[in-house]
Each structure stands twice: as C-alpha cells, then as structure tokens.
Amino acid sequence: MNDAAHDLHAPHFIGIGGAGMSGLAKILAVRGATVSGSDAKESETVRALRELGATVFVGHAAEHLPAGTSSVVVSSAIRADNPELVAARERGVPVVHRSDALAALMGGRRALAVAGTHGKTTTTSMLAVSLAELGLEPSYAIGGDLDAPGSNAHHGAGEIFVAEADESDRSFHKYAPEVAIVLNVELDHHANYASIEEIHESFETFVGRIQPGGTLVVSADHEGARELTRRVAGRDGLNVVTVGAAEDADLRVLKVEARGMTSEVTVELAGEPLTFTVSVPGRHYAHNAVAALAAGIALGVPAEGLAKALGAYTGVRRRLQLKGEARGVQVIDSYAHHPTEMAADLEAIREAAGAGRVLVVFQPHLFSRTQQLAEEMGQALALADASVVLDIYPAREDPIPGVTAELIIDAARRAGADVRAEHDFAAAPAVLAGLAAPGDLVLTMGAGDVTNLGPEILAALADVAPAV
C-alpha cells in the first residue's frame, strides 16, 4: 500500500506507544503496511499493536530501524538526538511528522476534524461511537482509548474519517476537512504559542483549510470561539454553524438536566425541540455532544438517528472514567490538566456526588503550563472539598527554576481550598484512603501517570478503617 505523497508501506514509528502514534500505526497495520516501531516501555498498547502484526522494540537504538523502512514517523515530542531518528537521517530514510501521516490516511475520505483547547478527545470519540452505532463504519483516530488498549483508532469501510486535530504544535494545519469543529479557543501550549493572538491566528489557518463548500461547527458560548467566528465570517465557500446555550446559536442548547452520571439534553433544531441522553456527566460533555450532532448533520447524517446514537457513547478512558468502588467510595480518573478542564470536570463530579464530598489528587503537567497557569489551577482546585497535589509531571520538558507544585498550592489556599502537598507519589493512595468516607468521590486528575493511582487507592480503601 502507498499513501499520497508519503511512502507509508513500511513505516517505523518512534514512540509508537503514544496516544496519537499508536492509532496511526494501528490503521496502517490493518491497511496492510509492514509496521515497526519503538517505545520507552512495554504497555498494553504495545502488546495490542504486536497482535496486529507490528514489530515493536522496547527502548530506542539505531539497530531498531529495520532494513527496508520506507519512512520514519515522529511526533513533536521526539528529540533530534533520538538514535533511531539520527540513523534514519544518516541512511536517507524520509522522516514524516505524525500529522502528515494522518493527513495521508484521511486522503480520499470525507474528513471531519475536531479541534479546540479542550474536549477534542471526547467529541471525536462521541462521533466515532455514534456513527458506528448507525452502521456508517467510520475510520477514526482519537487521542485516547475508548474502552480498551488500541481502541483509539479504527480502519472502517465507510467514507467518513473522524480525527482529533491537535493545535499544540500547529500540526492541525496539515488537514483539509469537509467539516471541522472548534470547541473553544484559549491560551495553552506555552512552549509553542507566545500569546492568545498567535492562538487565534493558528485557528484561523486551520479554518482556512476547510474544503470549499465545507462547514465549520463552532461554539457560541466561549469568547475565544466567538472571536474566531468573527474573524472568519463572510469567507467564500465556508458554512458556519454556531452551537451552544447562547441565544444567537444556530443549534441552541435549551436545557441540560443532570441525572447522576448521565445528562438529558434538549436542543432546538429547525424550530423544534429534540431531546436525547448523554451517558456521561457534566454540562461540558453535553455541549460536546451537541457539537458532534451539528457536525454529523453537516455530513448529511439524519439528526434524530444521530441524537439517539450519541447515547451509545459511555466515555473514553481517562475522561471521568469510573475506576471502581471500595468501602462506599467511588474512584474516578480525569485527564484534565488545564484550569478550564479541571473546573469543568470538578463541577460535573460535584453534581454526581450529591451529598458526598469530592476529593482530588492532582498532578500538574509540564513546568511551562504550571508557570503560566498556576493561579488558575489553584482556583479550580478550590471547587473540591479537599485536594492533594503531587509534584509536577515533566513529560518532555526540563525543569524551570522556581517552578514547582507549591505555586499551585499557594494559589489554591488563597482561593480558600483545603489542599496539601504530597511529594512521595507512592504514599498518595494511603493519604486519599485516609481522607475518604463512604459516599465520597475521589478524582485522580492530570495528564501524567497519576492515572496509575486509581487501582492503588481502591486497594488502600479496602485496607483502612472508615474515616470519621
């Protein structure tokens, strides 16, 4: 097989276990490519790729680059001195960015790209699940697993390809969708964007990539998104559909009614009310579902059938995912790491908790993000009844002098939060178990390895005496 301008018949993925990279590797393997790759460690995702026939090495070394490799696929997280990348350049093997590979995979399909500072993974997942529920057999590439390792991507027989479009490194400029969603526009990714103006310019470029006669679905509720709408208004060949609770929204949300861990949503469509269920809690997830509904309608999918099918979506891993219950305490995992996401998830969990308390163990993600948004993160944590803050998860970054989790803790205390530091990652489960009482909800929150604490908290809850 061969894909457009990039030879992907025998690709080698550096960092193949990552959320975005593994999805592309899966699709290529299913399409018949000879896939190889490497990752820093063993994982369920790596094992799932091997089951599809991929050759995956653990660790990075020049000898891991197979003879006959047609191209090497990298993400922005791969450093220039990676030995496999160095070997590829020495051997003259073409190096392809992940976004170019995804763009090639979308070629010849009706592409639907989901962008925004928050909510991309959830909205993309909602579309993938609901379109599959309708028998449309979409292909999709998502930044998170739906329900099992390797479920972040799928090669479908249908004509629709749904993809999460990442603005963090401007890679979403590579796509040319028929329909695009922009959920919100806020300042983030501080290593790549110096100002909100640069963010707006980047999203404008993305909108400019929509195919002539295509559709932009954009939030009517978020000011950054409304600013984007103002900037692109009147462009020839662009249909704009605004969605949200705002009175001037084209697809208006009339009501979101919380029902425990689900929501009932009513929208006004063609002058008539349409009510459907979203099987995850929180107003922001309900609004994501409405954006998905509008995008599907733009592709010609019947509204009532799609609205009903959206109820089949039960969540994506790490997006308010219930990890289990012990001693009357539910443990839920949240990927939220930006203040807006944190506040939205905490508000959703607050509704679901009823009379119980909301307890959070939060792991800040990236030194640069903490440096810029520590105050806002602290304010978000004030929405919980009590919080434990871990040390910063560095991911791809080197430390920044003076930037520690204490910046967030100080801000949270100024906002009136009950918050404490925990520098020993391994001690956190016992700390949370000691705080929790029957009826409480414990939230593990952050984009790093804090997700691994859920099972350990459940085990610790089973071993400790009830809190008083």
The string over 68-83, giving b where at least 16 C-beta atoms fall within 10 Å of a residue's C-beta and e elsewhere, is ebbbbbbbebbeeebb
Does residue 120 have an active-site annotation?
A: yes
- In a 3-state reduction of DSSP, which class is residue 266? strand
What is the DSSP code (8-state) at residue 314? -
Helix axes of 120-133 and 303-310: crossing angle, nearest 10 degrees: 110
Hey, what amino acid is at 314?
T
Cβ(132)–Cβ(156) under 8 Å? yes
State the DSSP H helix or E strand holding residue 430, giving kind and residue range, or none if neither: helix 428-435
What is the dihedral sign for C-alpha 46, 48, 50, 54? negative
Q: Is 117 a catalytic residue?
A: no
Structure tokens at 360: 């959070």
| CA-based torsion, 132, 280, 147, 294: positive or negative | positive
242 assigned to active site: no
Query: With contact defined as beta carbons under 8 Å apart, do 370 and 381 qualify?
Result: no
CA dihedral 185, 190, 191, 193 (to 10 degrees): 50
> Considering just the CA atoms, what is the radius of gyration of the chain in Å?
22
Looking at the DSSP bridge assignments, the partners of residue 154 are 140
- The residue from 45, 84, 122, 164 that is catalytic is 164
From the list 120, 124, 167, 422, the catalytic residue is 120
* From 45, 117, 121, 404, active-site residue: 121
Distance between CA atoms of 63 and 174, rounded to whole angstroms? 31
Per-residue burial over 121-158, b if 16 or more Cβ lie within 10 Å, else e, is bbbbbbbbbbbbbbebebbbbbbbbbeebbbbbbbbee
Q: Could you give the CA distance from residue 398 to residue 22 in angstroms, rounded to a whole number?
A: 25
What positions carry a catalytic annotation?
120-121, 164
